[in-house]
Structure 1
Amino acid sequence: MELTLISKYIIIPETKSIRAEFNDKGECRSLVLEGNYTFTVDMKPIEIIDESLKYYGFDLNGAISGTKAIIGPCKAAPVRIPGEIDMYWFPHTWPGQDDCVWFALHHVADIMPDGQNLSSVYVSGGHCFKLNTSEKDLSFKYDRTEKLESRISKRTVNTFSFIMERTTDNYSVEKGKRNYIITRKKD
C-alpha cells in the first residue's frame, strides 16, 4: 500500500509520533502518525520537530537549551512546542540519528519491556512501536519529559497568595503591572 507523500508538515495536537522511513534511494523521510492516519513526509523527523518549533516562533537549539536550563544537562533532551498547542515531545534516542522516533508525551499510553534491550511503546489509539531500546531507558526519557512539563507548568501558572497579620484595619488589593498592590484604606 502506497502512503500519501507530503513535502512539509507541522505538528498538531493529534500528532502521536514521527519516525524515520527510508525510500528506495536510501534517503531518510518521516512516517507520521496523526490520529488514525499514517502518511509520509519528505523531511527527516528532526526537521519536522525543528520546522514545527519555528512555525510557533521558536527553534530546536533554543528548545533544547531551554530544556537543559530547566531540568539540567541531558542527552536526547525533550522539547516543548509552546504556544496554543503547548505539547511536549521526546526522542527515543539521540535526535541526530536518522532512526530516532519522536513521541508526543500526551499520546504515550504505556512503555513495556519486550525482551533484553527491547521495548514496546503504546500510544493512544492502540498503536504500538517496537524499539531497540530498553524499557528502563525509554521510561527515563518519558519521566524526564513529564518533569519538564511539570516545572514549566509551575513557572507559568499564575498563583496569588500573601499573608497579612490580623488587624482592625481595612486593606484593598489591586493588580499592578507585575505584582499585586496592597494598600491600607483610610477611614
Structure 2
Amino acid sequence: MERMEEYMIMEETAALVPQYDSYGRLGTIVYELYNTYKVEQSPKEIIQQSCRYYGSTYEGKVHAAKHILGIRQMVPISVCEALRLYFFPTCSPDSDRCIWIAPSHIKMIQPYEKKKTKVILKNKQELIVDIQKGTLEGKMYKTAMLMVTLQQRMMNNYEK
C-alpha cells in the first residue's frame, strides 16, 4: 500500500477510513476505485483540505447542508458540487472512528453481525461499519437529498 503525506479527494475516492499508526497518530486508509493509500492526515483533515481546494470551507459546507436538509448533526457534505463529490460520515465527524463514504461508489450494503453493516464498493472492496443497515440507508438518503437539491437549484438558475 502506497504511503502519502496528503491526499485530495477526487472522483475515484470511495471511502476515508481512520487508522492509527504504530506511533498512535491518526491517519487514513483511502479507498479509491483502483488504489488504496495510507495517508498521514485524518479523514476529517482530508475532507477539510479538499473543501478548501475546491473553493469552500468545511464549516461552510456543513452549515449549508444543515440548512438545506433541516438536520443538526452528522450531515453529509458536498466537497465539490461540480464534480459531484458527496460524502457522509458514519458517526460524529469529530470521532476518531468516523468513516467518510461516497455513496456514488457503493454497490451494495448488507447487515453484518449485531449493529454493523457491510458496505460493498463498486470495485468489490468491503468495509465493515459500526452502524445498522437502516441508519446507513438513512445517511445515503440524506446525501441523495442534498445532491438533488443542490443540482435542482443550479439548474433552476440556468433556466432563468
TM range (shorter): over 0.9
Deviation sequence 1:127-172 (CA, Å, 0-9, x none): 1111221111111111110111111111111464xxxxxxxxxxxx
- Partner of residue 89, structure 2: 91
CA distance in 2, matches of 1:108, 1:75: 22
Aligned to 1:101: 99
Give aligned pairs, total. Answer: 159
Contact 1:87/1:105, CA 8 A, preserved across alignment: no
Q: Could you tell me which residue of structure 1 aligns to residue 66 of structure 2?
A: 68
Which segment is superposed worse, 40-49 or 128-137?
A: 128-137
Q: Which deviations, in whole Å up to 9, do the C-alpha atoms of 1:25-76 show, x marking residues without a partner?
A: 1110000011221111110000000000000111110000000111112321
For structure 2, list consecutive stretches of 5 or more residues without a partner in the other structure. Answer: none
- CA-based RMSD of the aligned residues comes to 1.3
Using the aligned pairs only, state the percent identity.
25
Q: Which runs of 4+ in 1 moved over 2 A?
A: none
Amino acid of the structure 1 residue aligned with 2:12: E
Q: Bigger relative contact order, structure 1 or 2, given CA contacts below 8 A and separation 6+?
A: 2
1:115 aligned residue (113, 130, 134)? 113
- 1:143-182 aligned at under 5 Å gives the runs 143-158=141-156, 160=159, 179=160
Write 1 or 2 for the structure with the bigger share of helix.
Answer: 2
SS in 2 for 1:31: strand
Deviation, 1:83, is 5.1
Superposition TM-score, scaled by structure 1 size: 0.81
